[in-house]
């Protein structure tokens, strides 16, 4: 079964790049969001396996959306993306509960690796709950 991914980035171009990359690597892209508010709304409707979310977005930043998602949906798995030079924001996002991250400009291998690690964490936590 293909993993369901929600992409969140304020750049339509970046969403397109990520969507193409994820589809080519066997994932199912089930939705796209332009800002953090849309992410929260779509997560409740779509229940993706992983969210690939930009740290910097209008209306509600990725970090703010991550914190709200983790409050409402503790099971949410989020992979954050950030531009070079935003390492301090990545650290903040990891502390807020991000499962993984990748840096832009994107490298296909790193994006796939981050998504796979987030999916593995989801599987590991599910197995622990069953035990």
Neighbours of 121 (CB within 10 A): 14
Residue 112 has pLDDT above 60, yes or no: yes
pLDDT of residue 127: 42
Omega before 105 within 30 of 0, i.e. cis: yes
Report pLDDT digits (tens) over 89-102.
Answer: 999 999 999 999 99
For the 4-130 domain, the top CATH level (class) is: alpha beta
- Report the C-alpha gap between 47 and 56 in whole angstroms: 22
The predicted-structure confidence for 10-39, as pLDDT tens digits, reads as follows 999 999 999 999 999 999 999 999 999 999
CA distances from 114 to 60, 98, 111, 124 (A): 23, 11, 5, 15
Domain map (residue ranges) of the chain: 4-130
Confidence at residue 122, expressed as pLDDT on a 0 to 100 scale: 57
């Amino acid at each position: 079964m293909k993993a369901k991914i929600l992409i969140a980035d304020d750049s339509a171009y970046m969403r397109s790049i990520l969507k193409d990359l994820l589809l080519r690597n066997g994932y199912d892209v089930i939705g796209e969001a332009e800002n953090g508010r849309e992410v929260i709304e779509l997560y409740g409707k779509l229940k993706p396996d992983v969210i690939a979310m930009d740290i910097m977005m209008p209306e509600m930043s990725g970090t703010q959306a991550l914190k709200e998602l983790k409050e409402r949906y503790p099971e949410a798995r989020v992979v954050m993306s950030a531009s070079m030079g935003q390492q301090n924001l990545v650290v903040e996002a990891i502390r807020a509960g991000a499962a993984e991250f990748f840096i832009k400009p994107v490298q296909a291998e790193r994006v796939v690796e981050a998504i796979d690690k987030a999916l593995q964490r989801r599987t590991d936590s599910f197995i622990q709950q069953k035990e």
